[in-house]
Amino acid sequence: MLEEPFALDRMFQALSDQSRRGMIDRLGHGPASVTELAQPFAMALPTVMKHLHVLETSGLVLSEKTGRVRTYHLRKEALASVERWIAERKSGWNKTFDRLDQFLADNSEETVVK
């Protein structure tokens, strides 16, 4: 699972904002500079930088600076951690629903027989 107990919390917090999810979507197509990531949003560059800081602190993205340009990269393995957590919950829910379906099927047969 995750090495740090709060890592998943930070990832979900980072993903809770629509602008940050948009930046993650953009980075899914490849690395991008801050300017490229800021283009689709009607916000000041310092605000974009704050969003990118949240994404980087959460571990969802990495940045590197070459000269004056900071480029961000998506950490797909971090998204895999979120996906794995969701998949584990979904599996448990599906088992519960399967048991409920079976219970309802068994009880409806008893009702028809009576």
pTM metric for this prediction? 0.76
For residues 85 and 18, the model is more confident at: 18
Residue 113 above 90 pLDDT? no
pLDDT digits (tens, 9 = 90+) for 60-81: 999 999 999 999 999 989 888 8
Spatial separation of the C-alpha atoms in residues 93 and 99, rounded to whole Å? 10
Instruction: Indicate the fold that domain 7-113 takes in CATH.
Output: Arc Repressor Mutant, subunit A (1.10.10)
Please say whether the beta carbons of 47 and 38 come within 8 A: no
E strands in 1-114 = 32-33, 61-66, 69-74
For residue 2, the model assigns a pLDDT of 45
| Residue 27, C-beta contacts closer than 8 angstroms, at least 6 positions apart | 37, 61, 72, 73, 74
Summarised one tens digit per residue, pLDDT across range 2-57 is 456 578 899 999 999 999 999 999 999 999 999 999 999 999 999 999 999 999 99
Would you say residue 98 has pLDDT above 80? no
Query: Where do the structural domains in the chain lie, given as residue ranges?
Result: 7-113
pLDDT score for 111: 62
pLDDT band at 114 (very low <50, low <70, confident <90, very high): low
